Amino acid sequence: MFESPTLQTLTDYNIWIALPAIALAFGTMFLLVIDVFLPANRKHWTPILALVGIGISFLINLFTYNPEQTSTFGGMFVADAFTGFLNIVVLITAFISVLLSTDYLRRTETNHGEYYILLLLSATGAMFMVGANDLIVIFIGLELLSIPLYILSAFRVTYTDDRDATFVLKSEESGMKYFILGAFSSAFLVYGSALLFGATGTTNLREIFAAVGPILESSAENSGALLLLIGAALSLVGLGFKIAAVPFHMWTPDVYEGAPTPITAYMSVAAKVGGFAALFRLMIVGLSGLTLDAGVDPAAWQGTIQVIAAVTLILGNFVALSQTNIKRMLAYSSIAHAGYILMAVAAVGSAGLVPDIANTAAQAGLVYLLAYAFTNLGAFAVVLALENNDGTGTELSDFNGLYNSRPMLALAMALFMFSLTGIPLTAGFMGKWLVFSAAVQAGLIPLTIIGVLTSVISAFYYVRVIVNMFLLTEDEGSPAVGETAPVRYAVYASMAGVLIVGIAVPLVTNLVNMVSLV
């Protein structure tokens, strides 16, 4: 295959389809050099340039948004509507996170240019991951997504003299826990990939799909299928850590609480987008044909994912009920939301039985991710506005009487809480509606019932925040030191996103209907 290479130029390889990700990577490297030469009194240009880089990548992504699936680099990277749509989600997330970061870094005295470089590198990793069509690219994209996040979680320790302060210790611990469990989970992902490679002889997802059929036919006792199943299971463990599905969720609350709030906002969305993109691709493109009895049984991994989804929904929502810290509550809520998106992944398992379910479920998952991105970023933006420099001010009681002191923030938070619950006319409702209907189409009735019931339960803790803000009063209002112009823009942008996705439904469905992975 590689014995006699003929000299070709890069343009022969169609690399322009990976241009959004390449542009962001290039911009990041450019920013790295620029940041060094910026004089100390011009450092505020770094976030602005980062925003420009994200914007350029966003524009390139819009112009190259092409529903036709094209691949490059020997089929390792594909660009289709799935890639384009998730690129949009990742870039919006990065944009809002940078907006949230500028003043936060300044007031917490961690304003170093490396922060933005690492944030953009992580976004680049997520973008390579959503277009990955090969186990190697999935792995390396995942690592590029994760390794900067380990550092960013611990970012409050950078250049500090104040090593005994609680917020420094918490941030350090957050980075450490994320790192240890992240490395542990990557080992599972690599071993799972090794088994898939061992069973099929290839790391390309399309070739794995082609190899699965003959393996199922040739081995009398389905022993090859078992190898594939265990490989899929170990990969699922690895990705399960990243998306924070139960029982691989234990790092989530501590990491979310200890990390700097803009990073919590960013990783609660970006890590999930990357993880779910890989999961959808692996399960639809690679392993959707892995059934023990084709045409009669659903995919063999469907049962496992259903159980994981159900446990994630129940545990995430119930534990969130008892939380008193808003960051921990949103951490458990993000675990619960992983469960809803896993319902869409489980629905994909019926691909061999119900026509077109794989695409319907993938589309539902994508809309859910977009809705979740806007809502969660907005909620964390409000949390950040109320947080003090030493990390306090994130208790639920700190929201008491917010409507009296900061009506705009209270209204915004109420909207985000409604969206997380899934009240109609918000983005969250759209996401839940599509995911539930995909699950029903796939015949997963018990799982859908669990999903609906846990949504009702989730209303309790989301509405409690609203009650605190509007009905309770406090002697002195929150100082809201973080409510500066960029944070306000971030809140407005998230509100606009939540309302647009929730009300202007055709806009999103037109984009997402082009998604076809099969």
Binding to another protein (CB under 8 A) within 131-160 occurs at 134-137, 139-141, 143-144, 147-148, 150-151, 154-155, 157-160
Q: Which residue in 17, 86, 98, 118 binds another protein (CB under 8 A)?
A: 118
Stretch near another protein under the rule CB under 8 A, chosen from 11-19, 96-104, 345-353, 370-378: 11-19
Query: Within 438-477, which residues bind another protein (CB under 8 A)?
Result: none
**Binding pattern for the stretch 349-368 against another protein, x by CB under 8 A and - elsewhere:** --------------------
Query: Which CB atom, from 1 or from 476, has the smaller least distance to another protein?
Result: 1
Q: Contact, 402 vs 465, CB < 8 A?
A: no
Q: Which residue in 49, 89, 195, 267 binds another protein (CB under 8 A)?
A: 195
Is residue 383 close enough to count as binding another protein by CB under 8 A? Answer: no
**Binding pattern for the stretch 93-112 against another protein, x by CB under 8 A and - elsewhere:** -------------------x
Is residue 164 close enough to count as binding another protein by CB under 8 A? Answer: yes
Compute the distance between CA of residue 352 and CA of residue 153 in angstroms, rounded to an integer. 42
Compute the distance between CA of residue 469 and CA of residue 414 in angstroms, rounded to an integer. 8
Query: Which CB atom, from 76 or from 434, has the smaller least distance to another protein?
Result: 76
Query: Which CB atom, from 199 or from 279, has the smaller least distance to another protein?
Result: 199
Instruction: State in angstroms the smallest separation of the CB of 415 from another protein.
Output: 27
Instruction: State in angstroms the smallest separation of the CB of 57 from another protein.
Output: 14
Q: How many residues bind another protein (CB under 8 A)?
A: 95
Instruction: State in angstroms the smallest separation of the CB of 451 from another protein.
Output: 25
Q: Which residue in 90, 215, 386, 515 binds another protein (CB under 8 A)?
A: 215
Cα of first residue to Cα of last residue in the chain, in angstroms, is 27
Instruction: State in angstroms the smallest separation of the CB of 53 from another protein.
Output: 14
Is residue 184 close enough to count as binding another protein by CB under 8 A? Answer: yes
| DSSP annotation of 473 | -
Angle between helices 445-470 and 407-421 (to 10 degrees): 170
Instruction: State in angstroms the smallest separation of the CB of 448 from another protein.
Output: 29
Q: What angle do CA 90, 92, 98 make, to 5 degrees?
A: 100
Compute the distance between CA of residue 416 and CA of residue 477 in angstroms, rounded to an integer. 21
> Token pair 């994200």 is at which residue?
54
Question: How is 26-54 classified by DSSP, letter by letter?
Answer: HHHHHHHHHHHHS-GGGTTHHHHHHHHHH
Stretch near another protein under the rule CB under 8 A, chosen from 212-220, 307-315, 392-400, 433-441: 212-220
Compute the distance between CA of residue 245 and CA of residue 249 in angstroms, rounded to an integer. 5
**Sign of the torsion formed by the C-alpha atoms of 353, 359, 361 and 362:** positive
Instruction: State in angstroms the smallest separation of the CB of 92 from another protein.
Output: 22
Compute the distance between CA of residue 497 and CA of residue 502 in angstroms, rounded to an integer. 8
Query: Which CB atom, from 141 or from 352, has the smaller least distance to another protein?
Result: 141
Q: Which residue in 27, 84, 240, 253 binds another protein (CB under 8 A)?
A: 253
Q: Contact, 229 vs 158, CB < 8 A?
A: no
Tally Cβ neighbours within 10 Å of residue 503: 13
Query: Which CB atom, from 179 or from 470, has the smaller least distance to another protein?
Result: 179
Q: Which residue in 201, 355, 424, 479 binds another protein (CB under 8 A)?
A: 201
With CA atoms as reference, report the closest residue to 284 among 356, 338, 218, 224.
356
Compute the distance between CA of residue 315 and CA of residue 390 in angstroms, rounded to an integer. 30
Instruction: State in angstroms the smallest separation of the CB of 112 from another protein.
Output: 7
**Binding pattern for the stretch 296-335 against another protein, x by CB under 8 A and - elsewhere:** ---------------------------x-x--x-------
Q: Contact, 235 vs 189, CB < 8 A?
A: yes
Q: Which residues contact 226 (CB under 8 A, 6 or more apart)?
A: none
Stretch near another protein under the rule CB under 8 A, chosen from 130-138, 356-364, 369-377, 486-494: 130-138
Question: How is 245-269 classified by DSSP, letter by letter?
Answer: -TTS-TTHHHHHHHS-HHHHHHHHH
Q: What angle do CA 429, 432, 434 make, to 5 degrees?
A: 105
Query: Within 31-70, which residues bind another protein (CB under 8 A)?
Result: 32, 40
> Token pair 């997330």 is at which residue?
93
Query: Which CB atom, from 399 or from 429, has the smaller least distance to another protein?
Result: 399
Compute the distance between CA of residue 504 and CA of residue 502 in angstroms, rounded to an integer. 6
